[in-house]
Structure 1
Amino acid sequence: MAAGTFGLAFLSLAAPAGAASTSADDCTITDITPRQAVIGIEGKRVQFGVVTDCDGTRDLKWQVAGDLFPGSPHVSWFAACTYIYAGPAVVDCSDRGSAVIDPIAHGLKTGNANAGENTVHGYVFDDANHNGYDDDSGAAIDTDTGTIELLRETIWRDSFDASPEPRRKGQPLHLNAELSTANWDTGLFENTDATVKLQFRKAGQTKYRTVGSLHATNGIIDETIKAKTSGYYRLSYAGTETTAPSVSNVDYVKVLPRK
C-alpha cells in the first residue's frame, strides 16, 4: 500500500514499543520541510525533510505525516518516511521520504478546504541496530509538529499577448490574458476574478517595474493602454492565502517614434 493511500487505522506517530521518552539531553527536531507545496489538478509528490541538531554519530530515520482530522496525530492522509514500518500494516518507504499529496476530489481528505496551512507531524528515531525498522528499544529521539502551506496552482490559460506590434508612441496597445486557478473540488482549472499587476521592463534594462493594475473578470483580462517605449510586458498575480502566485509569459513590444 503506497504512502498517501492508506486507511484510517494505518499509521501512528507514537514512538515504537519500549521506546524511552525524549529527555532534555536528547537532540531535537529543529525544522520540517518543505514549508509550502503548490498543487494543480493532479496529486503531487512532495519530498519532505527533517532537520535536527543531532551529531553525526546517530543513524537517524524519520517520518513526516499529515492530519486527517484536526488534532489527531495518529490518523493521517499522507506519510513520508525513511524506514520500514514495524506495525500491523506496511508503510511504503521506497520513495525515501517523499509522499503524494492529493486533495483533488478523491481520497481521504479532499477539496479546496485543504488549501492553506496544514499541520504536519515529525518523528525521528535512532536506528541503532541499522536494520531500517523502527523496532529499536529506547531509540526515540523526538516528535514535533510543523506546518505546510498547500496552495492551489494558478496558471495563465492562454499566453499573455500585447498587440498589435510594432506600435508608434501614443498608439493604443491591447492587452489580453486569461487567469485560472486549480479547483480541488472539481479537479479542473477554472477562471477566477483577481487584480493583477502590469509590469514593464524597458529594452536594455534588467528589472521589471509595476506600471499599473488590471482586473481579471471571470479570469479574462482585456485592456488597452498607450504605447510609450520599446520593452517587455508581463502580468503578475500575487496569490492569496490559498492560491499560488503566478507570472505570465513575457511579450516584447517595439515602439516607434511618432510620425
Structure 2
Amino acid sequence: MRIRATVAAVSGALALSALAVPAAQADDSEGDTKISNVVVNGGKSVVVGATANKKVTVTFTVTDNSGADWAQAILYHGPSIEKSDSGAVADSSDGEAKCAKVNATKSTCTSSFTLDPGSNLVNSVAGTWKVWAIAAAKDYDFTQKDNVKSFKVQRASKLTVNASPEPVKKGKTITVTGKLSRANWETGKYAGYTGQSVKLQFRKKSSSTYTTVKTIKTNSKGELKTTVKASADGYYRYSFAGTSTTPAVNAAGDFVDVK
C-alpha cells in the first residue's frame, strides 16, 4: 500500500539518521478514520538527564466504522516531519503501535520510544517536539497527521543553595550562594545555566510557605551569590521557574539558626 511505503521511508530514515528525513506527505486522509486522545509521557514534559536513556510512552485512540487495522507514531523535532532535525521511531520491531480493540469501531494504541543523549538528543533540539501519526482501517480508509500532539523535551536541571554563617546573630549579614546547572547532552555532564533569573526564597521555621526575598541572575558559570540580613530562624532556598528547554527546580532549603 502507498501509505505503508511512505511510513517505511520516513521510519527508515529516522532510524538511520536523525538528521536526514526524506520528503514525505504531511496531512492526508481518506474516509472516516480518526486519531484522537494523544497523550505523551502521561501528559508531562519529557525531562532527560546527561547520560541515561529516557523511555517515552505515547498513547492514542483510533476510530473508524470498520475498525482499526494498524497505526504508527513517530516523534520528531523541527517545523515538520520533512524538515525535522531529530526524531525517534517506536521501539517495536516493525515500528508500529500495539493496538487493543475497545469495541467494533475504536482501538487504543500504544508506542514506546527511546530518547538517547548524544544520539537523537543534542542540546539544540531541546524544547518543543511533535508526534507524527498514521492510522489505517480495515476498509482501507486512513488518516495521516504531521502533528497530532506537541510536547516538551527538556534538559534536566539541578539547583543548590548554601546560606552562611550558621548560626548568625540577628541583624547580621547572611551570604547565600548556589548554582543552577542543566544536562549537556553532548558532553554527558551537567554545566552551569548562565544568565537565568532565580528567586531567593525564605520560610520561617514555624511556617510551611516560602516567600520571595529577591531575584538575581546566574553568572557565566551558572553560579548565584547574594546577601540578606538575618531576621529569624528559617530556611533559605533558590527557586528557578524553568524555560522551554529546562524544567523548573527548587533547591532544598538550607536552615539558618538566628541567635
TM-score, scaled to structure 1? 0.70
User: For residue 201 of structure 1, what is the aligned residue in structure 2?
Assistant: 203
Say if 1:188 and 1:223 are closer, same or farther in 2 by CA, change over 3 A.
same
Letter in 2 for 1:51: F
User: For residue 238 of structure 2, what is the aligned residue in structure 1?
Assistant: 235
User: For residue 5 of structure 2, what is the aligned residue in structure 1?
Assistant: none
Residues in 2 aligned to 1:246 and 1:60: alpha-carbon distance in whole angstroms: 43
User: For residue 128 of structure 2, what is the aligned residue in structure 1?
Assistant: 117
Letter in 2 for 1:243: T
User: For residue 131 of structure 1, what is the aligned residue in structure 2?
Assistant: none
User: For residue 90 of structure 2, what is the aligned residue in structure 1?
Assistant: 80
Matched, 1:97 2:106: no
Say if 1:53 and 1:209 are closer, same or farther in 2 by CA, change over 3 A.
farther
**Percentage of matched positions with identical amino acids:** 27
Runs of 4+ aligned structure 1 residues displaced above 4 Å come to 8-14, 57-62, 73-76, 139-144
What's the offset of the Cα at 1:98? 2.1
Letter in 1 for 2:126: A
Residues in 1 aligned to 2:53 and 2:89: alpha-carbon distance in whole angstroms: 13
What's the offset of the Cα at 1:227? 0.7
What's the offset of the Cα at 1:248? 0.9
Letter in 1 for 2:87: W
Question: Could you list the runs of 5+ residues in structure 1 that have no partner in the other structure?
Answer: 15-19, 86-90, 127-135
Q: Please list, as runs of the form range in 1=range in 2, the aligned pairs for 1:1-259 lying within 5 A after superposition.
A: 6-8=15-17, 21-23=29-31, 25-34=32-41, 36-52=45-61, 54=63, 62-67=71-76, 70-72=79-81, 77-80=87-90, 85=94, 91=95, 97-104=111-118, 107=119, 109-125=120-136, 138=140, 140=142, 143=145, 145=147, 146-156=149-159, 159-193=160-194, 194-217=196-219, 218-256=221-259
Letter in 2 for 1:203: K
| Number of residue equivalences | 228
Residues in 1 aligned to 2:216 and 2:21: alpha-carbon distance in whole angstroms: 49
Report the 3-state secondary structure (helix = DSSP H, G, I; strand = E; otherwise coil) of the residue aligned with 2:15.
Answer: coil
Report the 3-state secondary structure (helix = DSSP H, G, I; strand = E; otherwise coil) of the residue aligned with 1:98.
Answer: strand
TM-score, scaled to structure 2? 0.70
- Describe the superposition over 1:151-204 as per-residue Cα deviations: whole angstroms up to 9, x where unpaired: 122213xx4211222222101212121221222343321123222101112222
Say if 1:29 and 1:201 are closer, same or farther in 2 by CA, change over 3 A.
same
Letter in 2 for 1:112: N
Residues in 1 aligned to 2:235 and 2:13: alpha-carbon distance in whole angstroms: 43
What's the offset of the Cα at 1:11? 11
What's the offset of the Cα at 1:5? 8.2
> Could you say which structure has the higher helix fraction?
2
User: For residue 129 of structure 1, what is the aligned residue in structure 2?
Assistant: none
Report the 3-state secondary structure (helix = DSSP H, G, I; strand = E; otherwise coil) of the residue aligned with 1:167.
Answer: coil
Question: Could you list the runs of 5+ residues in structure 2 that have no partner in the other structure?
Answer: 1-11, 99-109
Say if 1:233 and 1:205 are closer, same or farther in 2 by CA, change over 3 A.
same
Residues in 2 aligned to 1:11 and 1:139: alpha-carbon distance in whole angstroms: 24
Alignment root-mean-square deviation, CA:
3.9
What's the offset of the Cα at 1:13? 9.1
Say if 1:11 and 1:204 are closer, same or farther in 2 by CA, change over 3 A.
farther
Maintained 8 Å contact 1:41/1:188? yes
Letter in 1 for 2:122: G
Letter in 2 for 1:150: V
Residues in 2 aligned to 1:5 and 1:43: alpha-carbon distance in whole angstroms: 20
